[in-house]
Chains A and B, each alone.
With several copies, the nearest count.
Chain A
Amino acid sequence: MASSDQGQIRLAFQGFRDEIDAYNDRRERLIKASRDITNLSKKTIFLLHRLVLEGDASLDDKQLFTRAAKKGYEKLHQVQGIYATLKPELEGDRFWRYERQVSPGLQEYIEALSFAYYLEHGVLIPYNEVQKSISDAEGEPYFHLTVSDYLLGLSDLTGELMRFSISGLSRKGGRRKALEVCAFVRSCKADFERFTEHIRDLRKKQNVTNNSLEKIEDTVYAIAVRSSEYDLPPEMLDDIVATVSSQSNPGGGEDDL
């Protein structure tokens, strides 16, 4: 082998090294960004639960939920900011190369976004809305949203709705809301079922959705059973309970404990 060949081999491998290093470095950056996105999204979900639960006597449900959603969107702007900076990292055919690094955070983001959207609109956020949320002001996407990430993110929403409906039970109107959520999660489950054929991970997540749905159904059942003993409309029953329960709490009843 001529020594010029040796040089050529070396040169070629130097190119390979640069390519591999660049790949690994970009991969690391995306993993780190994805962790940040996951954390922000999880915090947003907690925020939404908190805002809904804290309530505010002056607001009705619609106002309360809309306000919570707005604050959620605000927090998610941070995530969108990160995605804006990632645009060059995921350009062209790169998105699919780094899909496994991007997906976990993206799905968590979609879960948070769809929760806020549900609070505001009472429906599933459409695909185009999610894509728009990760696009620049001109509507140019930071990267192409895959159907799989969209659906897998939405699927996680049902778990949050289960929490939302059960822990909201003691809120005024919470019982009625639980009925609504029950119907909504049922329709989610039915909609998603059609896609499990194509998206394997969705099948696993459907099991989680089924469990969540059963928990909601049990809740709705308990409401039905208890109110069926009385011949009064549910709203009136709620009022009675609220009255009696607040009468028993005149600023601390520690004395007779």
Chain B
Amino acid sequence: MEAADLDQINTLLDTDSELRERIKDQVNEFDKKTRLMVATLNKIHFTPPDTISALLDTVKSVIVGCQSVTKGLAEIVPPNQFWRWKDMWSNSLKTAVFASVLVEYLSSGQLAGLQQVSDQLGMREEWKDRVSLTVEDYLHGVISVVNELSRLAVNSVTLGNFDQPIKISHFVKELFAGFSMLNLKNDTLRRRFDSLKYDMKKIEEVVYDVSLRKLATVPIVPST
């Protein structure tokens, strides 16, 4: 190989390694934030309704804090190389989606859409060939929310909140119907979607228990 060619190639490869290091730094930063969000959100299971909104505010401010990371990544990643590097931060991003969607559900009872989450994390349309939120990562985050909600359904009852499981049940059923519309390959997303039915089953059981206990207190309207 000509010396010039050798040098050219070497330069390209060195640039890539350096790039990888710089992305890794951002990802470490991202990880710290997501760890904090997860640890905070873990408290929803034993926080009484009246103090929950303060807890959610804490998480919201960390989500906003993630915007500096996405910005950092957008500045580092070269044009069109989004898919080359995304695996490096994919796990952190899925966790951030989880946090964002869960917070939104607990605040408003709504599903935060992909665009909404993407905006919250500070992603911009013009970065989409460098940093963006893919459908897969978004869906992974949503599935994690369902996993968490089945746990929340149980713990709400322990905390004396008997309506929560029924609301969760309706929300999760809708989501499950949504997921059923997808033609998935045998990949992680498929495997995780497959596990959703157990969450639904668990939630159903809580609804069943709660409904029949309510029997004593609520007047029954005969079903038609």
Contacts and interface: CB of A to CB of B under 8 A. Distances in A.
Nearest to A253: B167
Given A5-B110, A198-B17, A240-B212, A127 B197 contact: no
A170 B200 contact: yes
Given A17-B182, A20-B182, A191-B1, A217 B154 contact: yes
A229 to B, nearest CB: 5
A21 interface: yes
Given A253-B109, A257-B167, A46 B180 contact: yes
A1 B167 CA distance: 8
A217 B152 CA distance: 10
B201 A243 contact: no
A199 to B, nearest CB: 7
B224 to A, nearest CB: 9
Contact of B154 (A16, A50, A221): A221
Contacts of A221: 154-155, 157-158, 206
A126 B204 contact: no
Contacts of A99: 83-84
Given A198-B17, A222-B201, A239-B223, A248 B163 contact: yes
A158 to B, nearest CB: 13
Interface string A4-41: 01101110111011011100100000000000000000
Contacts of B35: 193-194, 197
Given A13-B179, A221-B154, A241-B211, A96 B84 contact: yes
Interface string B210-224: 111111001011110
B80 to A, nearest CB: 4
A201 interface: no
A191 B6 contact: yes
Contact of B2 (A126, A167, A224): A126
A195 B35 CA distance: 11
Contacts of B154: 217-218, 221
Contacts of B208: 226, 237, 241
Nearest to B164: A257
Interface in A91-123: 92-97, 99, 123
B207 A245 contact: yes
A221 B153 CA distance: 10
A59 interface: no
A138 interface: no
Interface residues of A, number: 84
Interface stretch (B8-16, B57-65, B66-74, B92-100): B8-16
Main secondary structure of the interface of A (DSSP, over half): helix
B175 A9 contact: yes
A166 B84 contact: no
A160 to B, nearest CB: 11
A64 B24 CA distance: 52
Interface string B165-205: 01101110111111111111100000000101110110011
A54 B169 CA distance: 16
Contact of A249 (B9, B155, B166, B220): B166
Given A147-B13, A170-B173, A229-B213, A214 B129 contact: no
B201 A10 contact: no
Given A16-B178, A97-B83, A254-B109, 17 more contacts: A1-B167, A8-B111, A9-B177, A9-B178, A13-B181, A46-B183, A50-B181, A96-B82, A151-B9, A166-B198, A167-B197, A170-B169, A188-B1, A221-B157, A225-B210, A242-B223, A248-B163
Interface of B: 1-2, 5-6, 8-10, 12-14, 16-17, 31, 35, 38-39, 42, 45-46, 49, 80-84, 106-111, 113-114, 128-129, 135, 139, 151, 154-155, 157-158, 160, 163-164, 166-167, 169-171, 173-185, 194, 196-198, 200-201, 204-215, 218, 220-223
5 contacts: A20-B184, A97-B83, A195-B9, A221-B206, A243-B221
